[in-house]
Amino acid sequence: MACTRPEPRRGGGGLSRRRFLGLAAAAAVSALPGLSSGAFGAPAQGFEIVSSFPHDPKAFTQGLLYHDGFLYESTGGWGTSSLRQVELETGRVVRRKDLPAEHFGEGLALWGERLIQLTWTSGVAFVHDLRTFGDAGSFSYAGQGWGLTQDGRHLLLSDGSSALRRLDPMTGLEVGRTEVRDVAGAVSMLNELEYVDGLLWANVFTSDVIARIDPATGRVVSWLNFSGMFEAHKRVSPEAVLNGIAVDRASGRIFITGKLWDRVYEVRLTS
């Protein structure tokens, strides 16, 4: 999602085994724009940085996934939106496809041999061939498109509200939705999405905080606070917030990046 709205080799970086406590206190989270005030129930989850890798600092990351040794990335911007295949170890863009200037790229998901890329306000998802990036169709959906992932049965789409919409992956038709909640109430501004070990991870837009959600109930199981992982002095813009989550399903490695960040971080959860 854009921050202005609307018109809107392994081991690098010296960060190996750097530990974080996650959210130190409930108050730090209740102040986020996506959370109402009041009691805060889900616990903080700690993590450590295992490694980091180069990332294009001009990439306005909107969607991220990992597949067969590469990152696939959707970037946003009016006239600058793209689909990219990126070499993890070097950050080199090995394949790129630009979207038409009138479309603002958003979330990205893999379904079989197809990459499905949302747009922010156009109400259209572009379908690309995984191997060639050739056109493989499109479908329409109602409202805005923010984050996108899939659970093996459906696509899951976020639109900036507290709702996660389930879509038929072939037609784009909505077949259900779940509201995300914590004890504090509904959690809105949900953005980039990824399935990790049976839970749905969703970052809260404009923040570096991720909710880990039970997909069956919408309940927030725990929170991750990545604030400070990408240092403030390196942020070239207020828009340089966390907005990329990807998982290597073969090894379980988890990768985090953000808009205009010059690193992709491999992280591991701790107690």
What are the tens digits of pLDDT across the range 161-192?
999 999 999 889 999 999 999 988 999 999 99
Arch. (CATH architecture) of 12-269: 6 Propeller (2.120)
| CA-based nearest residue to 53, from 269, 249, 244, 271 | 244
Can you tell me whether residue 266 is helix, strand or coil? Answer: strand
What are the tens digits of pLDDT across the range 206-262?
999 999 999 999 999 999 999 889 988 899 999 999 999 999 999 999 999 999 999
Query: Which residues, in sequence order, are bridge partners of residue 235?
Result: none
CA pair distance 222, 200, nearest whole angstrom: 11
* Strand ranges of the sheet holding 263-269, from the earlier edge strand across to the other edge: 18-20, 47-54, 263-269, 254-258, 242-247
CA pair distance 26, 152, nearest whole angstrom: 34
| pTM for the whole structure | 0.87
